[in-house]
């Protein structure tokens, strides 16, 4: 039963003077429902919902990997289930303060949140979408939408949300009838939830489940993956363009990462999934036997890399539309990642080329539940062997791995041909990690904590982020700093930078557009815009504000010092948006690298690092056709990479201007016109195929 129906029933009963006690049905009017929050198959939090008549009180608490939202909510609902009062108090993911208020009085609604404050007439949006709500809010929205025309509503503070019934699903041997719904318009990706036949929340697909149905959570998580896969497959089938003849890009310049220059105006022809020819632009007429695209003097840029990704079904589309054609996955659901890569490689789903790194964590109160969680050294070593047997490229060590395990785990990884990267475990310094076998360090803060933490301080907690404010007073010429840089140079160690992640955490302020999103936030859905206008850590004094700003400037200075010393810098985001890869490159330039150096670091450098530069990383004859087209010159202004007109990955073309509206995003550039050949040719096993053109193993026998 919908909440509004319950309240109506209560008023009818009250009017007939039937006493509450005489009803003997208190659970219908006052009840407590408990939910588990699940990650990696383990409970990492709870949600407790107390409901009585028109009031709802919620206690939401998540503690996963030393972080998570923790807050309490109070709602007063009207007879139709809309909130007239909604307060949320507590902390967000990394400890930022939440004091959100919504109230409806008369014909006005007013709100204050981390992101914004304002008021509007009720007619502009009677339903308020909260900025920091618990998952219970999904049921609130769904019940309101169930009575709305076309199950769509305009909402405050802006935007429109839509409810779609996906399927009916019996649970617990058929004793519970669940309905799966999809909510769109809240953010970039849809939200999935389950309601019972009374309209009450059962859970959200992917981590929340009513306590009495806990055994259903693994199956529901798989269902979420299935539903999202179906949705993205449909987008892939509609918008990914394959070609049955060569594709010629005319009137383009090519970014050449080896030199940092642009080529003269050129013609680039792609056949199948490889670049067939690169010739000087002749200005001649269109050819009748090829697909042809006029680049109008724009620039072809090799596909970008995100060297710190956690791929999922949705992220593949995000990456491609941002020109990111390769990622390195730094920890995931191992089985799902292998399946996802197969679906992408078969062309069933859009997505980048994915290099797999396997995450290894040790058991502690702060453990992350991704990859393998080891209770003993032998379990840790077995995890390393599993990753090696399944073709992973590197091992990623995480915060809670026991310090004494680092050296034997790294040695086993090296014995089996795996590289070693990761966080620096708690109570271990970066210098010690490098001496124990690390080839690379993940995140610039994990490197700099070795200069900022005191012995005994625990980096498994949010201190690994908040301590970066101490960097404001760091002496970059101190022996402590210089020793680490010398070690990295001597050992040829790399740094997976993820500066954009640190900027998000250190430079975001409540109610302000964060620098990391300034270039694209106005193009995004209202839910994403509000999510970004928040503080992720508690910055409540001018002194704290100055410390975080000064600390981030030291991060930029560290990037430049490492670059000048010759340390390999790998751009990454620890995000799934794709667009943040552009900001990571921009931060490289703010640190002092030239735009061309930032472009090289994001194209050819990762492929050389991973040993794939014979096939990828630059635009050259015989290489894979992974590149994108922009109208400007990114060697002069790195922001030119944001205006992407077309992306090609392995010979399939995507036009962001066509696809972004499907995701609620306003495109950043217009698309291109693709002129089809007058007489299409079909690919057959003749002398025109790539294998015949380039030899049995590719060009000069080196490509495969």
The closest alpha carbon to 521, from 680, 685, 668, belongs to 668
Candidates 427, 420, 421, 510; CA nearest to 461 is: 427
Mean pLDDT of the chain: 89
| pLDDT over threshold 50, residue 684 | no
328 has pLDDT over 50:
yes
Q: What is the mean pLDDT of residues 520-532?
A: 89
Residue range 540-576, pLDDT digits in tens = 899 999 999 999 999 999 999 999 999 999 999 999 9
Judged against a pLDDT cut of 70, whether residue 382 lies above it is answered with yes
Bridge partners, 496 (sequence order)? 442, 570
133 with 534: CB under 8 angstroms? Answer: no
**Residue 207: pLDDT above 60?**
yes
pLDDT, tens digit, 9 for 90 and up, residues 264-296: 999 999 999 999 999 999 888 888 899 999 999
User: Cα–Cα distance between 199 and 165 in angstroms, integer?
Assistant: 13
What's the pLDDT score for residue 222?
86
Q: Given pLDDT bands bounded at 50, 70 and 90, which one contains residue 538? A: confident
Tell which phi-psi region holds residue 260, choosing left (phi > 0), alpha (psi between -120 and 50) or beta.
left
In this structure, which long-range contacts are made by residues 115-119, counting pairs with CB atoms below 8 Å and at least 24 apart in sequence?
A: 115/510, 115/511, 115/529, 115/530, 115/531, 115/532, 115/533, 115/534, 116/157, 116/511, 116/530, 116/533, 117/511, 118/157
Q: What is the DSSP string of 84-120?
A: EEEEEEEE-TTS-EEEEEEEEETTEEEEE-SS-EEEE
Q: Could you tell me the domains of the chain?
A: 3-237 (no CATH), 242-301+617-704 (2.30.40.10), 304-616 (3.20.20.140)
pLDDT of residue 680: 52
Q: So what's the pLDDT on residue 249?
A: 98
Helix (H, G, I), strand (E, B) or coil at 464: helix
Q: Residue 119 contacts by C-beta under 8 Å, 6 or more apart in sequence?
A: 108, 109, 110, 111
Contacts of 585 (CB under 8 A, 6+ apart): 304, 571, 598, 599, 601, 602, 638, 641
Per-residue pLDDT at 11 exceeds 50: no
The label of the residue with tokens 């967000």 reads 92
**Whole-angstrom Cα distance, residue 207 to residue 39?**
6
Of the two residues 2 and 254, the one the predictor is more confident about is 254
**DSSP, res 413:** H
Q: What is the pLDDT of residue 29?
A: 63
Instruction: Look up the pTM and report it.
Output: 0.84
Taking Cα atoms as reference points, which of 359, 361, 341 lies closest to residue 351?
341
> What pLDDT was estimated at residue 221?
86
Whether 560 contacts 532, CB under 8 Å: no
- Tell me the Ramachandran region of residue 562: left when phi exceeds 0, alpha when psi lies from -120 to 50, beta otherwise: alpha
Q: Who's near 458: CB < 8 A, 6+ residues apart?
A: 426, 427
Residue written as tokens 């210089």?
482
pLDDT at residue 679, rounded to an integer:
66
pLDDT tens profile 85-128: 999 999 987 777 889 999 999 999 999 998 889 999 998 878 99
Q: What is the dihedral of CA 424, 428, 432, 437, to 10 degrees?
A: -50
User: How many angstroms separate the first and last alpha carbons of the chain?
Assistant: 60
CA distance 570 to 553: 19
Give tens-digit pLDDT for 64-91.
877 789 999 999 999 989 999 999 999 9
């Amino acid at each position: 039963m919908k909440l509004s129906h319950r309240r109506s029933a209560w008023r009818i009963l009250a009017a007939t003077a039937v006493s509450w006690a005489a009803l003997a049905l208190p659970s219908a009017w006052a009840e407590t429902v408990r939910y588990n929050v699940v990650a990696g198959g383990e409970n990492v939090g709870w949600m407790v919902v107390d409901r009585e008549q028109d009031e709802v009180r919620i206690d939401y608490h998540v503690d996963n990997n030393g972080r998570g939202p923790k807050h309490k909510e109070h709602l007063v609902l009207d007879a139709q289930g809309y909130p007239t009062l909604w307060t949320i108090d507590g902390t967000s993911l990394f400890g930022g303060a939440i004091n959100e208020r919504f109230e409806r009085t008369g014909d006005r609604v007013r709100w204050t949140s981390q992101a914004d404050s304002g008021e509007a007439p009720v007619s502009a949006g009677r339903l308020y979408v909260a900025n920091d709500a618990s998952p219970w809010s999904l049921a609130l929205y769904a019940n309101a939408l169930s009575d709305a025309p076309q199950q769509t509503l305009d909402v405050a503070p802006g935007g429109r949300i839509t409810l779609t019934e996906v399927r009916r699903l019996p649970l617990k041997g058929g004793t519970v009838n669940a309905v799966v719904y999809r909510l769109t318009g809240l953010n970039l990706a849809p939200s999935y939830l389950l309601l019972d036949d009374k309209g009450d929340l059962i859970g959200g697909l992917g981590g929340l489940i009513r306590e009495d149905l806990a055994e259903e959570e693994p199956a529901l998580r798989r269902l979420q993956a299935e539903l999202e896969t179906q949705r993205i497959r449909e987008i892939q089938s509609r918008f990914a363009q394959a070609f049955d003849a060569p594709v010629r890009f005319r009137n383009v310049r090519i970014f050449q990462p080896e030199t940092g220059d642009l080529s003269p105006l050129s013609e680039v022809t792609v056949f199948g999934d490889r670049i067939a020819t690169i010739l000087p632009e002749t200005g001649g007429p269109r050819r009748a036997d090829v697909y042809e695209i006029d680049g109008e003097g724009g620039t072809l840029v090799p596909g970008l890399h995100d060297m710190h990704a956690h791929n999922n079904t949705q992220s593949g589309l995000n990456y491609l539309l941002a020109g990111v054609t390769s990622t390195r996955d730094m920890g995931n659901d191992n089985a799902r990642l292998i399946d996802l890569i197969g679906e992408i490689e078969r062309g069933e789903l859009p997505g980048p080329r994915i290099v797999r790194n396997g995450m290894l964590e040790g058991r502690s109160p702060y453990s992350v539940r991704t990859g393998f969680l080891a209770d003993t050294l032998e379990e840790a070593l077995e995890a390393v062997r599993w990753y090696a047997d399944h073709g992973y490229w590197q091992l990623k060590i995480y915060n809670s791995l026991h310090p004494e395990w680092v050296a034997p785990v790294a040695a086993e990884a090296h014995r089996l041909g795996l590289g070693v990267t990761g966080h620096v475990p708690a109570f271990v310094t970066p210098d010690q990690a490098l001496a124990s076998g690390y080839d690379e360090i993940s995140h610039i803060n994990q490197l700099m904590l070795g200069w900022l933490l005191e012995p005994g301080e625990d980096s498994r907690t949010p201190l690994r982020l908040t301590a970066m404010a101490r960097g404001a007073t760091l002496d970059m010429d101190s022996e402590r700093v210089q020793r680490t840089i010398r070690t990295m140079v001597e050992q040829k160690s790399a740094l997976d930078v993820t500066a954009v992640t640190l900027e998000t955490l250190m430079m975001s302020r409540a109610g302000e557009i964060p620098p990391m999103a300034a270039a694209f936030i106005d193009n995004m859905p209202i839910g994403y815009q509000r999510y970004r206008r928040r503080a992720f850590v508690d910055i409540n004094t001018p002194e704290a504000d100055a410390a975080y700003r000064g600390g981030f400037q030291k991060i930029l200075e560290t990037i430049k010092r490492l670059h000048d010393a010759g340390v390999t810098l790998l751009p990454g985001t620890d995000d799934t948006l794709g667009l943040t890869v552009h900001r990571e490159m921009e931060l490289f330039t703010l640190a002092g690298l030239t735009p061309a150096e930032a472009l090289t670091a994001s194209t050819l450098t990762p492929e050389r690092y991973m040993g794939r530069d014979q096939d990828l990383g630059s635009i050259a004859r015989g290489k894979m056709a992974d590149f994108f087209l922009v109208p400007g010159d990114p060697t002069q202004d790195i922001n030119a990479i944001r205006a992407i007109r077309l992306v090609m990955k392995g010979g399939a073309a995507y036009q962001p201007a066509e696809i972004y509206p499907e995701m609620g995003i306003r495109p950043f550039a217009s698309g291109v016109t693709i002129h089809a050949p007058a007489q299409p040719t079909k690919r057959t096993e003749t002398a025109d195929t790539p294998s015949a053109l380039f030899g049995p193993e590719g060009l000069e026998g080196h490509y495969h």
